[in-house]
Structure 1
Amino acid sequence: MSKAKLILQGSRPLTWALSVCPIIIASLCAGMDSFFAPLSIYSRSSRWILLIFLSIIVALSLQICANFFNDYFDGIRGVDANRSDTSPVRLNSVDSGALVALKASLGALCIGVVAGVAAVNISRQYWLIVVGIICSIVALAYSTWFSALGLGELLAFIFFGPVVVWSVEYMIIRHLGPWAILSGIQCGLIAAAVLLINNMRDQYSDASGGKITIVVRWGRDIARRLLIITLTIIWGMSLCQIIGAIMGVNGQTAAWIMVIYTVIFGCAIALSAWIIINIFRADNRPALYKNAFMGVNGLMILLMLHYIVVFVVANAL
């Protein structure tokens, strides 16, 4: 496999939805919350579209940076020596892989910094520089300290949820509304669920390498319960949101929306059940962790579709 292809696969492209979808969700929430804000997304559409594009680059770059930096430290600490065949492709599998991972991490970070500076200059929200510095430090420090203390899921929740969604909405409309607050929590929970499944799969290799994750500390049984609770909260919140939003819509429109949303919600419940089944069966068949892992990424896409429907409902009122 060529080095370029290895770098692409090592960036985990199938998980990019964790960065892209929260930005799109934040923009939808900005549209719904802008009724109470000093700025509206409709008055300067070209500006906020550019800000959203730059925000996606920043979020994606930081995610890729964190992935490669994690690969780098796992490689030099020998954690990857005990990885199973079900783990994703890592740069440590080639000669000088750790050095390549470090260079790729710093390259992604530089791209994110450039896009972030551009977004700050356009929005004139200079406090975002502080947010960007904190996010960059966390992306680099996660592999060296935070993951060893079992704080990975908490950091994923905070920085892939509230920090991303709330910052993007405020950057666009100078206001933080209820839709963004709720969606930030939901996005964060999905990101935490992805990392929880990842740590369930890598429990034994992490333990042997001195990485004390939540799963290493508390075990898979508690991790499975946490996952079930997390998925229940996400879609319980979503159901309450659509019911509340649709109550003000006329009968015929409401009927069509409910048909569409029933399909989305049904897919979310079915996918959640499939994830849980795979998690319980993965003890004897570790390859099933990949199914669960990709399933949770699919839930992020379904959450984005949920907010598209809610956005349509809100604009129909």
Structure 2
Amino acid sequence: MINKLKIWLRAIRLFSLTGSIIPVTIGAVLASKYANFNLEYFIITLLAALFLQTSTNLLSDHDDFVNNIDTPDSYGSSGVIIENLLNARQIKRAGLILLTLGCLIGLFLAFEKGGFILFLGIIGALGGYSYTGKPLMLKYRGLGAPLVFLLFGPLMVLGSFYIQTQQINIISILISIPIGLLTTAILHANDLRDIYHDQKSGIKTLSIIVGKLNSEKIYFALILSPYVIITILALFGLIPILSLICLITLPGALKNIRSIYMSTASTTYLKTIDQETAKLQAQFGTILIVSIIFSYII
């Protein structure tokens, strides 16, 4: 039973789930300045977001396997299908179940909070499924990165904020940008690492379209620009000045950049670059959340 649980946790890529947790939490925390914080709606919103992300992770694993993109030589997926720990049918079924649960929760939230949440929910559900699902298969057409930015940046932050306040706030949109960029960097790190393998598979990720050198530059921009944006927002008083403490995570970003540079000599430096990027996103986002909470208290 314990081993089976570990396999499923690996399948959903537990390390990546901060991609949902951070934006939903930031949206709710920001909202507490304008309305009473509702813990029940926060938990429900978080569940919907987690179901969306885990379903996307599982369905992309299935689709990458059946499309012969994931092989024993690739790093991109969780590896549970390749290693025969779970079969493709189990992964697809679990992904569809989680997507359905997320949609049902989304419908409840839309019923409670109105048409704007329904609109965001439809975008989220269709976007998550279409990441690798037919007919759009957005990841394979170089559109995975912008999709991830939209879903795990503005959509989740703004949706979480709106559920708490019934308002659309420019600050919630602005602060979603650095979070969305860091979350997108997780995906881009994965695509950058697998660029040569994916080329053999015949797909067109963003990294393949722009080439390795430009792909590296995009990664640098994705993980460094959030620090610039947060600094600007803090200095202009749009977020608490205390939020500048996020800068203490900058060495982690620079470490990842060094790994990219070292990868010219050996791809082993990139084996866990997606996990290291997820760790950076989690640290940056957690510190940002804590800084906002403390600024409201003091």
Does the pair score TM above 0.5? Answer: yes
Amino acid in structure 2 at the alignment position of 1:93? E
Q: Contact conserved, 1:92 with 1:101, CA < 8 A, in 2?
A: no
Distance in structure 1 (CA, Å) of the matches to 2:272 and 2:230: 23
Q: Which has the larger radius of gyration?
A: 1
Structure 2 equivalent of residue 137 of structure 1:
126
Q: 1:226–1:276: structure 2 CA closer, same or farther, 3 Å change rule? A: same
Q: RMSD of the alignment, in Å?
A: 2.5
Deviation at 1:80, TM superposition (A): 1.2
Task: Tell me the TM-score normalized by structure 1.
Answer: 0.83
Distance in structure 2 (CA, Å) of the matches to 1:95 and 1:228: 35
The 3-state SS of whatever aligns with 1:93 is coil
Pick the aligned partner of 1:232 from 200, 224, 230.
Answer: 224
Distance in structure 2 (CA, Å) of the matches to 1:2 and 1:74: 24
The 3-state SS of whatever aligns with 2:202 is coil
Distance in structure 2 (CA, Å) of the matches to 1:228 and 1:186: 13
Matched, 1:176 2:168: yes
Structure 2 equivalent of residue 29 of structure 1:
30
Amino acid in structure 2 at the alignment position of 1:273? L
Deviation at 1:13, TM superposition (A): 0.3
- The total of aligned residue pairs comes to 293
Q: Deviations over 1:294-317 (max 9, x none)?
A: 23222322233124313433554x
Structure 2 equivalent of residue 128 of structure 1:
117
After superposition, where does 1:75-86 map in structure 2 within 5 Å?
Answer: 75-81=65-71, 83-84=73-74
Structure 1 equivalent of residue 261 of structure 2:
280
Q: Contact conserved, 1:74 with 1:80, CA < 8 A, in 2?
A: yes
Q: What stretches of structure 1 move > 6 A for 4+ residues in a row? A: none
Deviation at 1:93, TM superposition (A): 2.7
The 3-state SS of whatever aligns with 2:32 is helix
Distance in structure 2 (CA, Å) of the matches to 1:242 and 1:81: 45
In the alignment, structure 1 segments of 5+ residues that lack a partner are 35-39, 249-253
Q: Contact conserved, 2:80 with 2:86, CA < 8 A, in 1?
A: no
Q: Contact conserved, 1:69 with 1:105, CA < 8 A, in 2?
A: yes
Matched, 1:100 2:90: yes
Structure 1 equivalent of residue 247 of structure 2:
265
**% identical aligned pairs:** 19
Structure 2 equivalent of residue 37 of structure 1:
none
Higher helix share: 1
Deviation at 1:92, TM superposition (A): 3.8
Pick the aligned partner of 1:73 from 63, 81, 92.
Answer: 63
User: Greater relative contact order (Cα 8 A, min sep 6): structure 1 or 2?
Assistant: 1
In the alignment, structure 2 segments of 5+ residues that lack a partner are none
Structure 2 equivalent of residue 200 of structure 1:
192
